[in-house]
Amino acid sequence: MSHEQLYSTFALGEHYFGVDVNKVQEIIRYQNMTPVPLAEHVIRGLINLRGQIVTAMDLRRRMEMDDLPEGKKSMNVVIRTDDGAISLLVDEIGDVISVDDQTFEECPETLKGVARDLIKGAYKLENKLLLILDTQKVCQLNTVQ
Amino acid sequence: MDDIVKEFLVESNENLDQMDRNFVELEKDPTNKELLSAIFRTIHTIKGTCGFLGFGKLESVAHVGESLLSKLRDGSLTLNPDFTTILLTMVDAVRQMLSSIESSGAEGDVDYSLLVENLNKAQRGEPLNLSDSAKPEAKPEVKPEVKVTPQESAPEVKAEVKPEIKPEVIEAKVEVKTEIVPEVPPPVVKMEEVKIEVPKAPEKPAEPVKAPEPVKAAEPVKAAEPVKTPEPAKASGPAPTPSPSPSRGEAKAGSSVADTAIRVDVGLLDKLMNLVGELVLARNQILQFTAKQEDSTFVAASQRLNLITSELQEGVMKTRMQPIGNIWSKFPRVVRDLATICKKKIRLQMEGQETELDKTIIEAIKDPLTHLVRNSVDHGIEMPEERAAKGKSEEGVILLRAYHEGGQVNIEISDNGGGISPEKVKQKALQKGLITAEDAARMSDRLLVNLIFLPGFSTAEKVSNISGRGVGMDVVKTNIEKIGGMVDIQSNPGEGTTIKVKIPLTLAIIPALIVTSGGWKYAIPQASLLELVRVENEPGKKKIENIQGAPVYRLRGKLLPLVYLREQLGDFTKPNEENVNIVVLQADDRHFGLVVDEINDTQEIVVKPVGKQLKGVPTFAGATIMGDGHVALILDIMGIAQRANLVSELHDHAIQDMNSTQVKSSDVKSMLLFASRDNGRMAVNLSEVARLEKFDNKEIERAGDQEVIQYRGEIMSLIRVSSVIPERRRVPRDAEAIIKNVGDSIQVVVYSQNGKNVGIVIDKVLDIVETDEAIQESGSRKGIAGTVVIQERITEILDIPRAIDLYHQKIHLNKTEEPLAKEESYVS
């Protein structure tokens, strides 16, 4: 008995990530952002999404990766959370793919740092791994200073 | 839950509120038949309805209460304070059961037998014993007053109606004094709602609101709310006998006001408000666009759009407005109960009940206001004996006042009690360590009195069940500030205390001043705006002065502290502006000037919430969308003021540092200061540094003898300062062995050389400083360009290109089998 799951995929550096397609509200091109001074490093700014104000979080910074080289513009994956929409800035958008539940495996113990908390596990695709993000944890910033 | 039950709850709660007020009035005038009748009717209605709905317990409590009331009304008993108390207890019991019904659908398990017994005793204690007191014999009476309980009637038309369910109260025009309208629960509405009044001639006879439902056999005629439009006098008359099937034709009468007011779900109003908000934004956008157009038809159309939008906005805003009297109506009861407990005599006066506020704000200030009123009763007003000794009237007065002023609503709670002694507050605050002795000595009486808003403060000698736990006032203050309001307290010892609460009219759409700082636009709510000052920089005339690093401006002879918005937003680059734009703002009681780069214009903005990820930043109150579609942040003036104060007090040295940089000479250099291995200090010229990075130790890889790391898609070699620059102590140590113990991450200064990055690994970044000290050449160590005195310490300047050369030499030597430990040999 295997179940097929749908994931919306995107690239971040050399990694290939996926989020549950049901959580994705929409995917949009690079938007102008209003920076929020004093906010946490991972918050890139605020986006006007058809009259709704959405916080844009740099997923590279969230995953403690280096910033996208200058000149390259990121894409927005707007996901729904309990506290409204939030936009994740990613490098490139991939397809919505269907994966078999049985190819899923949890993260190995050796995974270090933030990735360990934020990645639920991986689907073993034929030629690469599809890393599944825990969107809830991604959106949760440690406000404990 | 059934709609009927919901409706019953809404109506009953409204009626109970009115009843509380009636009881308090009744105490002053115990023989007032009208008040007694009104109270009686309310309880009767509740009893009837709950009998019908099957809430037996509630019915039994209401029943005994009704019996006692009926005797009071007949005049066979006279109201005394004991009766009032027991009746109020009954009202509370009813409330408790109602809330239990609301939450769980059942009446709850509380035992009310004692209350029932007491109520029974109360009526038996009198000679005249009317066993059938449950059957009221009401006389129709004309009520001249404007404020009347909304009369809801029991749906007595059903066949299973209990015998004691009685004639219904109706409202009719004066001339139709005894017309009977059997009522049925009115149209279904949700629990949370506001009333809308449609201005309409109240004299028009009412039409049935809804088509009759066959089962209930009656018209849902709904009584008017006691809002403030003139109501026609009402005649109320109970039907002589319960009639299970009243003829429908009789159901035509009703309050004419019922016709002009409808109930609307608050959710719908919120939605409308949001839509209007969007419309306002779209309007702003079009207006911006219009400014560039020359087509006069288009300009005219957009101006019309502008006008209509403003009117619509105003109209929708009005629908959400409620008189503050709605929350004040609970206070007479609160004051009475507390005064009885404290054995004080207190009269509550209210002025400006009709002052209107947005519903969300009304909700938000309900609890803070209740707390303030309780405080006034408990702490403000003295005991009667004490008052008499002071030559005051024994009866204390608490005055609630509400009025509009400058787009805000002011609410004052004043008492003529003992006032607050600044000395006592000071002692208490010192004792609790809330302020220091120096602070205390400096503070004015007014400031001292305002200390009661600090968390953990309580002057009450003993903690009572009313107040004195020291959590109250700061919660009051925070809650009021949360909705953009302010609290201030003024007290004259011996004469009384006045607490003034200032709150905005509405939260959703606010007028704001748009300013620019660092190229981005910010909105400042106009409520805290006092004036705008532009200081032209005339040569030889310094308008902005400094007091120990705190910039001030002389505004009409008074010193106005200045806060630079750029700095508050974390940008410490100081533009050498010709002119200074000062936005004079008020936060709490203090005035301060916010220096901004540019003042744009004023605009109506729609406050939009921001995500929880930004909740931790106190400088912003929210965000809005500008005419051009950009998002602009709304500044939280209170937050900025607090932040600025904190900075000026805690970071004196930082300000001094800033002062010292003001005497910059032309050859000022920025240096990155870091610690070297032997606790010495080293620095590099900041202009040489491409980036500062932090890497996890695990990311370090090896390529041959070199340490490398993957950085931005290329391989960057890492050079440890300690491995190329020998330690000063000249005792060679295995640098790498020490490094292993440093921790699990390294700090790297990325240096760019011919397009290739090299990472210089340093131990710890100390600071970034500016210095104009000349570098002293020193030839003693390789890789060191010289020394300089920074922060009173000798600091070596690292010569990065030279250090890289040294590193390559070393690698080369290693390749030729030269032992690594021969570092010493590089030292000349």
For A69, nearest residue in chain B (alpha carbons): B712
With a cut of 80, say whether residue A37 has pLDDT above it. yes
CA A3, CA A123: separation in Å to the nearest integer?
13
Phi and psi of B218, rounded to 5°?
-160, 170
CA B538, CA B545: separation in Å to the nearest integer?
14
What are the distances in angstroms from CA B824 to CA B675, B680, B705, B729, B749?
Answer: 21, 19, 19, 11, 25
Chain B: closest CA distance from residue A61 (Å)? 13
B220 and B286 Cβ atoms separated by less than 8 Å? no
Q: Tell me the pLDDT band of A52, cut-offs 50, 70 and 90.
A: confident
B181 and B170 Cβ atoms separated by less than 8 Å? yes
CA B494, CA B420: separation in Å to the nearest integer?
8
For A84, nearest residue in chain B (alpha carbons): B611
Catalytic residue positions of B, numbered: 44, 66, 375
pLDDT of residue B364: 83
Instruction: List the single best residue of B517, B624, B631 to mutate versus A (max A Cβ within 10 A).
Output: B631
Mean pLDDT of A83-96: 88
B802 and B786 Cβ atoms separated by less than 8 Å? no
B802 and B783 Cβ atoms separated by less than 8 Å? yes
pLDDT of residue B64: 82
Put simply, the answer to whether B614 touches A48 (Cβ < 8 Å) is no
Single-letter residue type at B128: L
Put simply, the answer to whether A83 touches B616 (Cβ < 8 Å) is no
Chain B: closest CA distance from residue A114 (Å)? 12
Put simply, the answer to whether A48 touches B281 (Cβ < 8 Å) is no
Which tokens go with B136? 């009221």
Contacts of B569 in chain A (CB under 8 A): 37-38
pLDDT of residue B542: 64
Low-confidence ranges of chain B (pLDDT < 50): 126-194, 197-257, 462-463, 468-470, 646-666, 729-742, 817-828
Put simply, the answer to whether A84 touches B609 (Cβ < 8 Å) is yes
Enumerate residues 6+ apart whose C-beta is below 8 A from A102. A2
- Selecting from B613, B633, B698 the residue whose C-beta is nearest the C-beta of A34 gives B633
Half-sphere exposure of B611 (CA within 13 A, CB side): 29
pLDDT of residue B678: 62
Single-letter residue type at B456: G
Residues of chain A in Cβ contact (below 8 Å) with chain B: 32-40, 43, 45-48, 51-55, 57, 66, 69, 83-84, 86, 112-113, 139, 141, 143, 145
**Chain A / chain B CB contacts < 8 angstroms:** 74
Contacts of B631 in chain A (CB under 8 A): 33-34, 45-48, 53
Coil, helix or strand at residue B803: helix
Put simply, the answer to whether A48 touches B625 (Cβ < 8 Å) is yes
For B616, nearest residue in chain A (alpha carbons): A143
Contacts of A114 in chain B (CB under 8 A): none
Mean per-residue pLDDT of chain A: 84
pLDDT of residue B129: 34
Which tokens go with A79? 């996901």
With a cut of 90, say whether residue A78 has pLDDT above it. yes
Measuring CA to CA, which residue among B642, B650, B689 is closest to residue B669?
B689
Put simply, the answer to whether B610 touches A66 (Cβ < 8 Å) is no
Single-letter residue type at B654: A
Q: Tell me the pLDDT band of A77, cut-offs 50, 70 and 90.
A: very high
Put simply, the answer to whether B613 touches A139 (Cβ < 8 Å) is yes
- Selecting from A32, A57, A112 the residue whose C-beta is nearest the C-beta of B698 gives A112
For the entire predicted model, the pTM comes to: 0.47
CA B75, CA B118: separation in Å to the nearest integer?
20
pLDDT of residue B241: 40
Please report the ipTM that was assigned to this predicted complex: 0.85
Q: Which residues pair with B242 in a beta bridge?
A: none
Single-letter residue type at A92: E
For B620, nearest residue in chain A (alpha carbons): A36
Helix-, strand-, coil-residue percentages of chain A, each rounded to 5: 15, 50, 35
pLDDT of residue B689: 77
Put simply, the answer to whether A43 touches B610 (Cβ < 8 Å) is no
- Selecting from B617, B625, B696 the residue whose C-beta is nearest the C-beta of A51 gives B625
Single-letter residue type at B342: C
Enumerate residues 6+ apart whose C-beta is below 8 A from B577. B537, B597
Contacts of B617 in chain A (CB under 8 A): 36, 38-39
Measuring CA to CA, which residue among B699, B704, B670 is closest to residue B773?
B670
Put simply, the answer to whether B623 touches A34 (Cβ < 8 Å) is yes
CA B18, CA B274: separation in Å to the nearest integer?
33
